[in-house]
Amino acid sequence: MIERPDGTPLPRHFFDRPVLEVAPDLLGRTLVRRTAEGTIELRLTEVEAYAGDIDPGSHAFRGRTARNDVMFGPPGHAYVYFTYGMWHCLNLVCGPVGRASGVLLRAGEILSGAEQVRKRRLSARNDKELAKGPARLATGLGVDRALNGTDVCSGHDAPLSILTGTPPPSDLVRNGPRTGVGGDGAPHPWRYWIDGDPTVSPYRAHTPRRRTT
């Protein structure tokens, strides 16, 4: 048998570690999305860690609700949420169970299946923008709440899975403040990216929305 060039599926124990270990370790890994139209492979270039019940920036900080329920479950599952009235974002739940931590997948490079992704990302001016930002990534891969709770460690035919890929040399891994996170969660430098990669999204500070009254 010929091993796939992108490697083998990451086992569940990969995700059953503290989120600050898992997040940087996801860089360079290959996210696989299988749809009726075919397979998309994406090399992760930017992620953010959310440390659950101890992290004011996390959806799980104020306790378990219907929306964040998946974060309180076992690691290696997808947490997909809907925000700003039109976008979805994709996270991977990390351990330990009950901590409700997760990694937001913020950006990546499309390795295969770009034709399928371009159809969903008509506003992208070039292929570097196809998954440059968390909502763009989810949109391009056709990820919505139907995939919330999906096991990403369940094998070759799953709608979502992660392969070992090729992690970058450690000196290219950078970290800094999380994008769009304000309040007490803002200071944490828990955004990780591959230095110099053109698919990494630009940093934006948190901007409180003006009232519409």
Partner DNA sequence: CACGTGATCCACT
Partner DNA sequence: GTGGATCACGTGC
Which residues of this protein are in contact with DNA, per CB under 7 A?
Answer: 48, 50, 57-60, 62-63, 65-68, 71, 79, 82-87, 89, 91, 102, 104, 121, 123-124, 129, 132-137, 178-182, 201-202, 204, 207-213
- The answer to whether 132 touches 126, Cβ cutoff 8 Å, is no
Alpha carbon separation from 71 to 166, 180, 182, 211 (Å, rounded): 27, 20, 21, 30
- The answer to whether 8 touches 174, Cβ cutoff 8 Å, is no
Comparing CB distances to DNA, the nearer of 29 and 88 is: 88
Using CB atoms within 10 Å of the CB of residue 126, give its burial: 0 to 12 exposed, 13 to 18 middle, 19+ buried: exposed
Comparing CB distances to DNA, the nearer of 6 and 136 is: 136
Comparing CB distances to DNA, the nearer of 6 and 46 is: 46
Task: Tell the smallest beta-carbon distance from residue 112 to DNA (Å).
Answer: 21
Task: Tell the smallest beta-carbon distance from residue 170 to DNA (Å).
Answer: 24
Comparing CB distances to DNA, the nearer of 156 and 211 is: 211
Alpha carbon separation from 66 to 6, 15, 69, 75, 185 (Å, rounded): 35, 22, 5, 18, 22
- What is the DSSP secondary structure assignment for residue 139, as one 8-state letter? H
Report which residue type is found at 48.
E
Task: Tell the smallest beta-carbon distance from residue 15 to DNA (Å).
Answer: 14
Comparing CB distances to DNA, the nearer of 5 and 203 is: 203
Task: Tell the smallest beta-carbon distance from residue 59 to DNA (Å).
Answer: 4
- The answer to whether 87 touches 136, Cβ cutoff 8 Å, is no
Task: Tell the smallest beta-carbon distance from residue 40 to DNA (Å).
Answer: 17
